[in-house]
Copies of this chain bind each other. A is one copy, B any other.
């Protein structure tokens, strides 16, 4: 699917530079992306709302602003795809359910507002699973239309993988960033819980919901994430803090070679497929002394149940209106999850929630010794079939703990489909995680050469 000769094939970093330097116009870039969409959208189905004229109009305005000599944001003129659970005041936001068909938010989500402020073109809205949970939308995998792109951020991952946009936003409540990134062969970066505001984003679970970004390079992930990481009083879990220098740090060489801890997680034996096990074995051999195997402590075996308890109860609360008014318009899997969630007892919920600090203390012991945990991003290749979006289980421990994670498109399965490698870092140390990820990508490329 690579595209060496058109503006749509550029990284966001390079495209932004060329626009800034007058070597490319935002219209040319957006038109090139629209051409890609024109060519592939029928098969891939990444978009739920796309107004070509409006995208070009934004590009024109961006170009005019540039010519006015005003100072430009870091994403000036660069198109970004927005998962259709982020409110946009100028486009519908339908959250993947007919119950919200035609919904027009009055204002932008904080993420979209920050993107506009940085000069980005809001290209359109990408397909999400129903209410960002399990039931799939129309999107197919860009590498094989018979396979799922993963979910819930299906359209965003597929759009970036198929060069329809260089960047897109997504979200993860269990494995909705890392899994589609793995299945689609791109980078997916989910920052530390609380770094990116969820204000104006469909609320599924305050405890679990986390915003992330898709890109085709780590530099691009750093570029957009740095725009989005900001304290927002409207999201009570964001905090005032110094902006991490993601763009600067991701470009640096690590001062000493990073040490990685391979943590298979309790899901490995049962859920990693043979491709994944084979590919990881080879990768670890190649990494040699740089990676050591560690075992996650016993409490991590229970994290799957704890996440389910919290997610179910939070879905039951936050999707109560949809359930009450339109149960028959929800998928059976959604109805079942809500009904299970309605029965969760407060003591069980709170006991599950109270384990998070202890789990993070256990992770801290690993991060005292290692720069990052290396672990599968998905069960393996994207499974064949479009009726599910695959299993989020390899993201569960990290989402629950709120630690930053990134999926790197470094492995390949026996059918030639991409398989991601997940790197997980300590809470709040996102810049170092991205730097370690870039080092790892380099180390693997070396092998391939």
Cβ < 8 Å to B, chain A residues 354-369:
354, 357
User: Which residue of chain B has the shortest Cβ distance to A320 in the bound complex?
Assistant: B347
Q: Is the CB of B347 within 8 A of A317?
A: yes
Could you tell me the distance in whole angstroms from the C-beta of A306 to the nearest C-beta in chain B?
A: 12
At the interface with chain B, which of A32-40, A338-346, A382-390, A436-444?
A: A338-346
Q: Is A351 interfacial (CB 8 A cutoff)?
A: yes
When chains A and B are docked, how far (Å) is the Cα of A346 from the Cα of B314? Answer: 8
State whether the Cβ of A236 lies closer than 8 Å to any Cβ in chain B.
yes
Residue of B nearest to A356 (CB): B236
Interface contact A317-B351, CB-CB below 8 Å: yes
Q: Does A117 contact B (CB under 8 A)?
A: no
Taken residue by residue from 425 to 448, chain A's Cβ proximity to chain B (1 for < 8 Å, 0 otherwise) reads as: 000000000000000000000000
Q: Which residue of B lies closest to A236 (CB)?
A: B357
A283-B347 Cα distance, complex, nearest whole Å: 44
Closest 6 CB pairs of A and B: A313-B346, A346-B349, A344-B346, A317-B347, A346-B346, A316-B347
A357 to B314 CA separation, bound complex (whole angstroms): 17
Q: How far is the CA of A143 from the CA of B210 in the complex (A)?
A: 56
List, sorted by A's number, 26 A–B pairs whose CB atoms are closer than 8 Å. Answer: A236-B357, A309-B346, A313-B345, A313-B346, A313-B347, A314-B350, A316-B347, A317-B347, A317-B350, A317-B351, A317-B354, A320-B347, A341-B346, A342-B345, A342-B347, A343-B345, A344-B345, A344-B347, A345-B345, A345-B346, A346-B346, A346-B348, A346-B349, A346-B350, A349-B349, A349-B350
Q: Could you say which residues of chain B place their CB within 8 Å of the CB of A348?
A: 346
Instruction: List 5 extra interface pairs beyond A341-B346, A344-B345, A345-B346, CB under 8 A.
Output: A309-B346, A313-B345, A317-B350, A320-B347, A345-B345
Question: A173 to chain B: closest CB distance in Å?
Answer: 15
* Contact mask for chain A residues 105-144; partner B; CB cutoff 8 A; 1 contact, 0 none: 0000000000000000000000000000000000000000
State the main secondary structure of chain A at its contact with B. Answer: helix
Kindly state the separation between the CA atoms of A236 and B345 in the bound complex, as whole angstroms. Answer: 23
> How many residues of A are counted as interface, with CB atoms below 8 angstroms from the partner's CB atoms?
20
Query: What residues of chain A have their CB less than 8 Å away from a CB belonging to chain B?
Result: 236, 309, 313-314, 316-317, 320, 341-351, 354, 357
Residues of B within 8 A of A343 (CB): 345
- Using Cβ atoms and an 8 Å threshold, which residues of chain B touch A357? 236
In the complex, which of the residues A236, A317, A357 has the most CB atoms of chain B within 10 Å of its own CB atom? A317
Which among A314, A345, A347 has the greatest number of chain B C-beta atoms within 10 A?
A347
In the bound complex, what is the Cα–Cα distance between A368 and B325 (angstroms)?
Answer: 38
What residues on B are CB-neighbors of A316 within 8 Å? 346-347
* Bound Cα distance from A344 to B351, whole angstroms: 13
Distance of A357 Cα from B206 Cα, bound (Å): 14
Residues of B within 8 A of A320 (CB): 347
Q: Name the B residues within 8 Å of A350 (CB-CB).
A: 313-314, 317, 346, 349
**Chain B, residue nearest A351 (CB):** B317
Residue of B nearest to A205 (CB): B350
- CB-based nearest B residue for A338: B347
Min CB distance A348 to B, Å, is 7
Q: How far is the CB of A202 from chain B (nearest CB, A)?
A: 16
Contact A341 B347 (CB under 8 A): yes
Bound CA–CA A374/B422 (angstroms):
56
State the CA gap A347–B345 with chains docked (Å). Answer: 8
Within the complex, the shortest CB–CB distance from A242 to chain B, in Å, comes to: 13
Q: Tell me, in angstroms, the Cα distance from A354 to B207 when the chains sit together.
A: 12
Nearest chain B CB to A311 CB, angstrom units: 11
User: When chains A and B are docked, how far (Å) is the Cα of A349 from the Cα of B316?
Assistant: 12
